[in-house]
A and B are shown apart, each in its own frame.
Chain A
Amino acid sequence: MLIYILRRLALALSVVLATMVSAFLLFFAAPSDPALALCPESKCPPERLAQISASLGLDRPLRQQFFEYFSGLFVGRDFTYAGDTVHCSAPCLGFSFLTRQSVNDELFSRFPNTVVLAIMAAIVFVTVGVVTGIAAAVRRGTAADRLIVGASQVLGAIPYYVLALLVALYPVILWHVLPQFSPMSEGFGRFLLGLLAPALILGLVTSASYTRYTRNSMLETLSMDYVRTARSKGIPERTVLFQHGFRAAMSPILTILGLDIAYLLTGTLITEQIFGVDGIGRRTIQAFRSQDLPVIMGSVLMTAVIIVVMNLIVDIGYSLVDPRVRLS
């Protein structure tokens, strides 16, 4: 078990490293100049541009830049820009020249917003999806089943951003039924309330697929021989459905859940953008717009780490649910 986890961690690390190298090459080798972003082309004399490039270290060889970046991840590094020296402690993801902040500050300060939104949405979609999925499976073929499946299909068919925009527009902005986003610094209660609207719509729309996963998985397990055996023991039907049926139906759902949460943690681009939630996703979009390469790279790296770690958690969780799965 321990050896397995260590091996998986080593593998995870290599995935992260590979991501890092390719992201670095892609962005720093790309034909876009961060110096240009700081100094608009139309009124930027070439010598000024060269000056900026030099102060950013962009004129140094690629290999050296990469080495500095890489060592910064482990020991931290100092950035000197326009006379100021900013220390960026390990794991240093870089320094945003546009905001004059370390990428760590840029991303880690916003991460809690994304995490809380992801957790709230996950609570909504897991609860709604699993409950409706089980209800539909148990009532298979009835009007209730058709209603649940139909509703989940309709919800899944409407483009998400349309629904999110409608929710942002009507209940939040026009009717003031649900509060707008407010940063955590202005009170945790208000912060949670502000995330209610985005979490609800994100959770509700995501729940549609969970309804279908759960229903299908549940129908499959309910047709299994061991469920018939359970029933033949004379135990209550509820025990048959939950301890025998749902217990087994859960494991495929866990896999998808782990990956979905990973994606949510890397920032829900559309949701954060529409509801003005100051999270990772929104910051990444801003970085793309302003060609803030260090932030983009930091975001890519963070995404890779989150996904790799969630994958590991899912695999370990799987072995806890299903005794046949041995970690070796």
Chain B
Amino acid sequence: MSTSTNTVSTRTAGANTAGEVVLDVSDLSVAFPTEEGLVQAVSNLSYQARLGRTLAIVGESGSGKSVSSMAVLGLHNPKRTRITGSIKLDGLELVGAPASTFQKIRSTKAAMVFQDPQSSLHPFHKIGKQIAEAYQAHNKVSKQIAHKRAVEMLDLVGIPNPQRRANQYPHEFSGGMRQRAMIALGLVNNPKLLIADEPTTALDVTVQAQILDLVNDLQKEFGSAVILITHDLAVVAETADDILVMYAGRGVEKGSAKEVLAQPSMPYTYGLLQSLPSHSEDLDELKAIPGAPPSLLNLPSGCSFHPRCQFKDQVPGDACFTQLPEWRPTPGLSNREIRCHLADPVATLQLDEGAR
């Protein structure tokens, strides 16, 4: 990181408040009424994000990861979205909150870094102005001070020559630089929560690592909570403390990121990890999870994953087809919860892995 002249020390967070719950999502459901029917994007989702920790939300496209995070910032059109349950951000209930509440908390309490910095920055506005605008919206300061703040932020995220760069347009930035600018924009008001929605998907692999390092470093500096939305398990391994695996709008496994990646205890997580191509093995075929994610218009009965689950025969009766599995601790593991009917998922999955 560059020698930043940042004045971010106003922040009171840090070690003493680390671990405090900033975001408490419970029983959150998000649905979009459409002409074809109700799209149930998120169902009864619960999770918490804590200061100083990074929570990875992992799942396939359409698993509800982005939809649930956008609900935190109130970015869904209220007329075309049905949101129930509870989202408590820093103690403030956001479900059903008026637009004015969201306007206040956006950027100050929770900020978002979006997937594609190319399309997420306004092509007609200068980078510095886009960042300064967010600062000025929440601080009664002059344009000059807001601009100075924007330059500081660009410096902080490692953009060389920030004074000059602030007066450039997004198309004059490279992809990695644009994402750095997006992060600068996200952090300009010292939010307690930063939601990074697939922040590296649109970037080169080498730049990806730089951006993830930057997010990690800044988190240490700011002590904020980070939610990292991704489908890239390598990214999770590198950056996350906690993990929530989502499938078809529901959480299916949660625990410590390292432990879950080392030993998944739910068939979907297991399938995800198995599908990663290994560098050493010479595979003829990728081990994909058979089938496709279900339609959110018409979710499967029981466990949403059952049509693609290779272990459903090992559950006695028709529980997988008829009953939605409730959250429960994984037998034999500490600090781990899953939604699965398997009696001893750890043993079942280990047996399968040994057989391969």
- A interface residues (Cβ-Cβ under 8 A, vs B): 141, 224-226, 228-237, 244, 247-248, 321-324
Contacts and interface: CB of A to CB of B under 8 A. Distances in A.
A248 B122 contact: yes
Given A323-B171, A324-B169, A231 B106 contact: yes
Given A232-B73, A233-B134, A234-B108, 13 more contacts: A225-B119, A226-B121, A231-B106, A232-B75, A234-B107, A234-B134, A235-B134, A244-B122, A244-B125, A247-B122, A247-B124, A248-B122, A323-B169
Contacts of B103: 234-237
Contacts of A224: 119
A144 to B, nearest CB: 13
A229 B121 CA distance: 7
A234 to B, nearest CB: 3
Interface stretch (B110-118, B256-264, B285-293): B110-118
A228 B114 contact: yes
B105 interface: yes
Nearest to A322: B124
Contacts of A324: 123, 169, 171
Interface in B123-156: 123-125, 130, 133-134, 137-138
User: Most chain-B CB neighbours within 10 Å: which of A225, A229, A237, A323?
Assistant: A229
B120 interface: yes
B114 A248 contact: no
**Those 10 A-B pairs whose CB atoms lie nearest each other, nearest first:** A234-B106, A233-B134, A225-B119, A226-B122, A225-B120, A234-B107, A235-B137, A323-B169, A229-B120, A233-B107
Nearest to B104: A234
A324 B118 CA distance: 13
B75 to A, nearest CB: 6
B315 interface: no
Interface residues of B, number: 32
Contacts of B130: 229
Contact of B120 (A228, A234, A248): A228
A225 B130 CA distance: 14
Contacts of B106: 231-234
Tell me if A's interface is mostly helix, strand, loop or mixed.
helix
User: Most chain-A CB neighbours within 10 Å: which of B75, B102, B133?
Assistant: B133
User: Most chain-B CB neighbours within 10 Å: which of A141, A234, A237, A324?
Assistant: A234
A225 B121 CA distance: 8
B302 to A, nearest CB: 35
8 contacts: A229-B121, A232-B107, A232-B111, A233-B134, A235-B137, A321-B124, A322-B123, A324-B169
Nearest to A323: B169
B71 to A, nearest CB: 12
Contacts of B121: 226, 229
Contacts of B119: 224-226
Given A226-B123, A244-B122, A322-B123, A232 B112 contact: yes
A225 B117 CA distance: 9
B189 to A, nearest CB: 8
B136 to A, nearest CB: 9
A235 B135 CA distance: 10
Contacts of A322: 123-124
Contacts of A234: 102-108, 134, 137-138, 189
B99 interface: yes
Given A226-B123, A323-B124, A231 B104 contact: no
A225 B169 contact: no
Contacts of B79: 141
B185 interface: yes
Nearest to B182: A229
Nearest to A240: B103
A233 B133 contact: yes
Given A323-B171, A324-B169, A235 B123 contact: no
Nearest to B171: A324
A248 B124 contact: yes
A273 B104 CA distance: 58
A323 B123 contact: yes
Contacts of B171: 323-324
Nearest to A234: B106
Contacts of B104: 234
A235 B121 CA distance: 15
B74 to A, nearest CB: 9
Contacts of B124: 247-248, 321-323
B100 to A, nearest CB: 10
A230 B106 CA distance: 10
B116 to A, nearest CB: 6
Contacts of A236: 103, 137
Contacts of A231: 75, 106
B160 to A, nearest CB: 21
User: Most chain-B CB neighbours within 10 Å: which of A233, A244, A247, A324?
Assistant: A233
A4 to B, nearest CB: 19
Given A323-B171, A324-B171, A233 B123 contact: no
A231 B171 CA distance: 21
A233 B106 CA distance: 6
A235 B73 CA distance: 13
Contacts of A244: 122, 125
Nearest to A139: B79
Contact of A226 (B73, B105, B107, B120): B120
Interface string B168-203: 010100000000001001000100000000000000
A236 to B, nearest CB: 7
A237 to B, nearest CB: 7
